[in-house]
Amino acid sequence: MLTKISRLSIQKKNKSKIVCLTAYSKNIAEEIDKYADIILVGDSLGSVLYNYDTTRKVSLKMMIEHSKSVRKGVKKSLMIVDMPFNTYKNKFQALKNCKKVLKETKCDGIKLEGGRKLNGVIRYLTMNKIPVMGHIGITPQTIRGKYRYKGKTNLEKKKLIKDSKSLEEAGVFAIVLECVERKLSKQITETVKIPTIGIGSSKFCDGQILVTDDMLGLTESKIKFVKKYIDLKKNIRQAVKKFKLDVKKSSYPSIKYSY
- Alpha helices by DSSP H, listed for 58-181, are 60-71, 91-105, 119-127, 154-170
pLDDT given at position 11: 63
DSSP for 2-48, please give it.
--HHHHHHHHHTTTSPEEEEE-SSHHHHHHHTTT-SEEEE-TTHHHH
- Give the start-to-end residue ranges of the domains of the chain: 4-228, 231-259
- Terminal C-alpha separation, the chain: 54
**What is the CATH architecture assignment of 4-228?**
Alpha-Beta Barrel (3.20)
By annotation, the residues acting in catalysis are 178
What is the pTM (predicted TM-score) of this model?
Answer: 0.94
pLDDT given at position 144: 75
pLDDT band at residue 47 under the 50/70/90 scheme: very high
Instruction: Examine the pLDDT at 1 and tell me if it is beyond 60.
Output: no
Mean pLDDT of 51-63: 96
Helix/strand number for the chain, H first, E second: 10, 8
pLDDT given at position 88: 98
pLDDT tens digits, 147-187 = 789 999 999 999 999 999 999 999 999 999 999 999 999 99
Task: Give the three-class secondary structure for 122.
Answer: helix
- Round to whole Å and give the CA distance between 105 and 67: 6
- Round to whole Å and give the CA distance between 102 and 131: 10
Mean pLDDT of 190-210: 96
- Round to whole Å and give the CA distance between 102 and 81: 9
Residues 6+ apart with CB under 8 A from 166: 115, 116, 119
Residue type, 4: K
* Bridging pattern class, strands 174-178 and 78-82: unpaired
